[in-house]
Amino acid sequence: MKAVNSLFCRAALGAALLFTSAASGQTPVYLDPSKDIEARVEDALGRMTLSEKINVIHAQSKFSSAGVKRLGFPDFWTDDGPHGVRPDVLWDEWEQAGQTNDSCVAFPALTCLAATWNPQMAALYGHSLGEEALYRGKDMILGPGVNIYRTPLGGRNFEYMGEDPYLASRMVVPYVQQMQALGVAACVKHYCLNNDEEYRHQVNVIVSDRALHEIYLPAFEAAVREGHAWGIMGAYNLYRDEHNCHNQYTLNRILKQDWGFDGVVVSDWGGAHDLDQAVRNGLDMEFGTWTDGLTMGATNAYDNYYLSRQYEQAILSGKYTTRELDEKVRRVLRLFFRTTMNRQRPYGFLCSEEHYETARQVASEGIVLLQNRGGVLPIRAAEAKRILVVGENAIKMMTVGGGSSSLKAQHEISPLQGLRDRLKGQTQVDFARGYVGDVGGSYNGVTTGQDLKDERPAEELISEAVEKARGADYVIIFGGLNKADYQDCEGHDRKQMELPYEQDRLITALARANKNTVYVNISGNAVTMPWTREVPAIVQGWFLGSEAGRALAAVLTGDVNPSGKLPFTWPASLKDVGAHALDAFPGTWREGGKIIDEEYREGIFVGYRWADRQKTRPTFAFGHGLSYTTFELSNLRQSARETRDGRLTFTVSVRNTGTREGAEVVQLYVSDLKASVERPLKELKAFSKVTLRPGESRDVELTIDRLALSFWDEQSNGWKAEPGDFQVLVGNASDNTPLKAKFRLVE
């Protein structure tokens, strides 16, 4: 019988063959794979034993859950993203499994993807990552992340898509759609209000319903309603005193009832805390609870999970019926039929030329030229005899570290190597260390193999760099943050906004020594820049993955014309950030010291909304980004002066007035001129990226609907658009919207 069962199981991998044991007196039953998935789910559910149902709703290893072998369902494998497929770890340990075929392409961090302002790049990203996941045998990628950039101190901001809910919504949908088109489930995270890393298990967020729905939920809602995401990961933090991995309000009411989510809610690893809440409050699959390496519990404790044997015993004792269990299992089976039981899934590819091209293209398009006084950039290689590259971030590998997004990249081109390769035979490229930061290079058994130790004091390092700078045609400093603790890293938030490792001293000294100084900031967060008037050119370089050096070299030398735009406001200091100005971060410990209450006192006024309200001038505005060419926006037209349904189309002419091809992002913001509640001065509601040749002009259409005019009404608990006068503001950054048009919403 074992041989027969094995034969059936192999067939079931593709054909959804379901059968019962001959010992039961029944003949094998074949379920028609052409039938609707829901019929197949109900058929399978009716054949499962209680133990089989329990087995599929919790982990059996660090990253897998059990299938149903008797019915031909294979095990289900997840893996961390969202920037690449994480290397495999041991069954019950976080250390590497020692495989030699689990290297990957490291794609740019999601802040860079958001900075492209190009949904087509998000689609290409999701497709490429999905192919890598398929080749590695992964059924679900734990990503993308869409939590809102609330403060520059957020440790995991580099994994998310910026501060604006509309931008994040437009970028997450194609990522999810293209990954899932391959039969790999996206697990959008971390739902929701996960804006802290320090004490993340203890933070209870207090936020208005309006801010919740207008700022922190829209990207998740878009992923569910438009992207049809098959998975959502609950967050570690609490909301309304319930952990978000089993939260009656966010999971049962909003996600599953209001949005109609039919996928699976997965706990973050170790995010479940209570049996009754796990049963009743929307959690479907439990991972990471009380296993070695996260919460310091027992080894191989999977049977001790809340949704494991104790749940089964509670059902057998009559504490619970199987109603909640069957609903969880239905969702898991639906996930199986979409992934492991999907006969149409391709084989996938790993480390293909196309995937490296995706990584390079996203990186190049997401790099932001923040400042370029005097046209210092692009580097004129024909005129440059010698270039000095300075800074640890010019040589440090950034794909290893930072938490669960750490990767084992097949290769990573450093900025220094990228420039040397590009300028080989033309220009001498020297290097000076400049500063010593994080010399470590390992995470969960993956090591960079770099030895970055340097015992020289800061004064000596700065002096050496300055001396070399005096004779160089260009000085390019690669500084910023790294993925060490308390920088851009899971588990900790930053302690300050200033650059670490005395970099400000270094940058100031080099700018004084050489007028052609370029600063490239490598980070997923804003940093203070007290030297902006002294440094002519500033570039935001992000964490760019495998093709980092090539992408940066292409932009710096002008092979690629930069077109990235900031996905968050770059404040001059923390006092210009609402959460800090109102002393609303990081919260206050309750009496007893077990829970931190963090009130989002700034409400809906996050990022540029706060800057507009307070009339503060950021270092660089949301949506800001320069080019090596120039553009002119003109002739704003509208489809009507009045609207009843809120739908209007605006047309703007865009002309490339420079001397080289480039891309511009046309941004449309909406302002409610008179409202019954306080509203932001303006809000992003449409954008479009257009590429133009020198002298070329094109009309760009931007369409808005009623939702673009609405606010969340806490009285009616829904979206409300009040009749009256509105204005659209169109430009290429939140602080540069010269084109304006008024219209009226009528009853």
Residue 26: the pLDDT is 38
Q: Tell me the residue type at 451.
A: D
The yes-or-no answer to whether 353-562 and 630-745 have a common fold is no
What gap in Å lies between CA 239 and CA 723, rounded to an integer? 33
What residue spans define the domains of the chain? 1-73+299-339, 353-562, 630-745
Whether 268 is catalytic: yes
Pick from 143-147, 239-243, 336-340, 441-445: least confident: 441-445
CA distance 658 to 627: 10
CB 272 within 8 A of CB 305: yes
Tell me the DSSP string of 271-309. Answer: ----HHHHHHSS--BB-STTBTTTS--BTT-GGGSTTTH
**DSSP notation for 479-516:** EE--SSTTSS-TT---S-SS-STTHHHHHHHHHHH-SS
Which of 670, 602, 734, 706 is CA-nearest to residue 211?
Answer: 602
Write down the pLDDT at residue 86. 96
pLDDT exceeding 70 applies to what percent of the chain? 95
Rounded mean pLDDT of 235-239? 98
Summarize pLDDT for 342-351 with one digit per residue, the tens: 999 999 999 9
pLDDT of 10 above 50? no
Write the pLDDT tens digit of every residue in 674-714: 999 999 999 999 999 999 999 999 999 999 999 999 999 99
2 pLDDT more than 90: no
Domain at 630-745, CATH homologous superfamily: Immunoglobulins (2.60.40.10)
Cβ neighbourhood burial of 622 (10 Å; 0-12, 13-18, 19+)? buried
Residue pair 703/649 in contact (Cβ under 8 Å)? The answer is: yes
Mean pLDDT of 545-571: 98
Work out whether strand 631-638 and strand 596-599 pair parallel, antiparallel, or are unpaired: unpaired
* pLDDT value of residue 660: 97
pLDDT band at 292 (very low <50, low <70, confident <90, very high): low
Helix (H) or strand (E) holding 655: strand 648-656
Confidence band of 16 (pLDDT split at 50, 70, 90):
very low
Amino acid (1-letter code) at residue 332:
V
- Percent above pLDDT 90 for the chain: 91
Cα angle 273, 276, 279 (rounded to 5 degrees) comes to 95
Residue 78, SS3?
A: strand
CB-based contact 479:521 (threshold 8 Å): yes
pLDDT-derived band at 20, boundaries 50, 70, 90:
very low
Tell me: pLDDT of 25 over 70.
no
Cis status of the peptide bond prior to 536, with omega within 30 of 0: no
CB 622 within 8 A of CB 164: yes
pLDDT at 31: 46
Distances (CA, A) of 683 to 726, 736, 745: 12, 13, 17
- Give the whole-angstrom CA distance, residue 535 versus residue 518: 7
Residue range 254-275: mean pLDDT, rounded: 97
Q: What is the DSSP string of 700-733?
A: EEEEE-GGGG-EEETTTTEEE--SEEEEEEEESB
CA distance 334 to 323: 17
Alpha-carbon torsion 305, 311, 313, 319, what sign?
positive
Residue-level length of the chain? 747
- Give the pLDDT confidence score for residue 12 in this predicted structure: 37
Q: Is the pLDDT of residue 22 over 50?
A: no
C-alpha count within 13 angstroms, C-beta hemisphere, residue 326: 13
Confidence band (pLDDT; 50, 70, 90) for 410?
very high
Q: Which of the four pLDDT bands, split at 50, 70 and 90, describes residue 298?
A: confident
pLDDT value of position 9: 34
Catalytic member of 79, 164, 268, 612 = 268
pLDDT value, residue 621: 98
Per DSSP, what are the bridge partners of residue 191? 234
Q: How far apart are CA 153 and CA 155, in angstroms?
A: 6
pLDDT of residue 18: 37
Tell me which of 3.40.50.1700, 3.30.310.50, 3.40.50.620, 3.30.70.100 is the CATH number of domain 353-562: 3.40.50.1700
Rounded to whole angstroms, how far apart are CA atoms 162 and 175?
15
pLDDT in tens, 48-60: 999 999 999 999 9
pTM score, two decimals? 0.95
The per-residue pLDDT of the chain, averaged, comes to 94
Q: What is the pLDDT of residue 296?
A: 67
β-bridge mates for residue 713, sequence order: 718
Mean pLDDT of all residues in 610-625: 98
pLDDT higher at 32 or 612:
612
pLDDT in the model for residue 396: 98
Number of neighbouring beta carbons within 10 Å of residue 362:
28
